[in-house]
């Protein structure tokens, strides 16, 4: 088994989780972390983020542990010019544009880019596709939470004046039960959830910050959004955990017989699970590049066996 040389770009919560998960893989080694910061609390080599091109020959896969609001759209195509990349871009509406930009960059460079990994988009995307393909004329609903959203929290923290901030997504229990019974009809994701923000900011900035958050396109506009301002001590006490999870509920009737497929995730720590999925797709990116499959791919386009360190023959004998 050859060893995949992995590197991390960005060393926030997700980057630290990716480092931990790489250390548990039988076929990966961490060769370095690229960061804007000169000093990090890690034993891995740390390099300036603008030196990636100088180390391209040392890296098989770059794990892009960056924010979806600005960094990934702006920077990911540049990094795809130097190495295979895996990101966790989570702006659902913009994924086709992001895929196109990454496909152009990776195809030109002869690299492989797997985009929008994690659990949603990611594992939930796979389940939505499979369940709706299996059940004809299905009703399908995705519920997020209760839990903290990394991408939305990153977007909140990007608002000028926000010193600390998190965003929780809360599903409606009534809507969840309706979906399971096949009675949710045209219920939209915006109707079935509340977005709840907890912010530390100066009082003079709070009205402006609340308005910017509630009207932020793609993240909060159109949702029922609560913005709460608290002091730093309360934030540190009550809002530093990172749980999350959710449900994908698919129901259908096949001539008088009700069928339901429900996929559930309960995550103690969102960054760890997101990192675990991202790292598995890093293995797939390396294998696809070796097979000549260059360009950009979503999780829907990657064969499941490529994610596993277990040989295909063993997977077939064990799991099929």
- Known binding-site residues for NADP(+) equal 11-14, 35-37, 65-68, 88-90, 117-121
Burial of residue 272 (CB within 10 Å: 0-12, 13-18, 19+) is middle
Q: How far is residue 33 from each of residues 26, 177, 190, 283, measured CA to CA in Å?
A: 20, 45, 37, 18
CA distances for 49 relative to 34, 55, 121, 271, angstroms:
5, 11, 26, 21
For residue 224 the two structure tokens come to 């029922």
89: tokens are 């871009």
User: Binding site: what residues are annotated?
Assistant: 11-14, 35-37, 65-68, 88-90, 117-121, 144, 169, 195, 244, 270
Q: What angle do CA 235, 240, 242 make, to 5 degrees?
A: 140
**103/25 Cα distance (integer angstroms):** 28
Binding positions for substrate? 144, 169, 195, 244, 270
Backbone CA torsion sign across 181, 145, 118, 25: negative
Q: Which DSSP state fits 70?
A: T
Taking the C-alpha atoms of residue 207 and residue 276, their distance in angstroms, rounded to an integer, is 38
């Amino acid at each position: 088994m050859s060893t995949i040389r992995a590197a991390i770009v960005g060393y926030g919560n997700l980057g630290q989780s990716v480092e931990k998960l790489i250390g548990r893989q039988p076929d990966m080694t961490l060769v370095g972390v690229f960061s804007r910061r000169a000093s990090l609390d890690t034993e891995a080599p740390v390099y300036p983020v603008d030196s990636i091109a100088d180390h391209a020959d040392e890296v098989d896969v770059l794990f892009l542990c960056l924010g979806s609001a600005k960094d990934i759209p702006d920077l990911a195509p540049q990094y795809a010019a130097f190495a295979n990349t895996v990101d966790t871009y989570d702006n659902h509406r913009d994924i086709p544009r992001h895929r196109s930009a990454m496909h152009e960059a990776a195809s030109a460079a002869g690299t492989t880019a797997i985009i929008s990994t994690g659990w949603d988009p990611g594992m939930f995307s796979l389940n939505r596709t499979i369940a709706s393909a299996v059940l004809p004329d299905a009703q399908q609903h995705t519920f997020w939470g209760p839990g903290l959203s990394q991408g939305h929290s990153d977007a909140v923290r990007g608002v000028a004046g926000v010193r600390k901030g998190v965003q929780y997504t809360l599903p409606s229990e009534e809507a969840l039960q309706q979906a399971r019974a096949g009675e949710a009809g045209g219920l939209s994701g915006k109707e079935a959830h509340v977005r709840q923000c907890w912010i530390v900011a100066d009082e003079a900035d709070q009205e402006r910050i609340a308005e910017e958050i509630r009207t932020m396109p793609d993240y909060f506009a159109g949702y029922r959004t609560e913005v709460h301002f608290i002091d730093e001590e309360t934030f540190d006490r009550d809002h530093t955990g990172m749980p999350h999870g959710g449900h994908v509920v698919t129901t259908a009737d096949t001539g008088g017989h009700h069928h339901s497929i429900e996929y559930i995730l309960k995550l103690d720590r969102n960054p760890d699970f997101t990192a675990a999925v991202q790292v598995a797709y890093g293995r797939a990116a390396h294998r696809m590049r070796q097979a000549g499959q260059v360009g950009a791919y979503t999780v829907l386009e990657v064969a499941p066996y490529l994610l596993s360190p277990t040989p295909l023959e063993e997977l077939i004998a064990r799991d099929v």
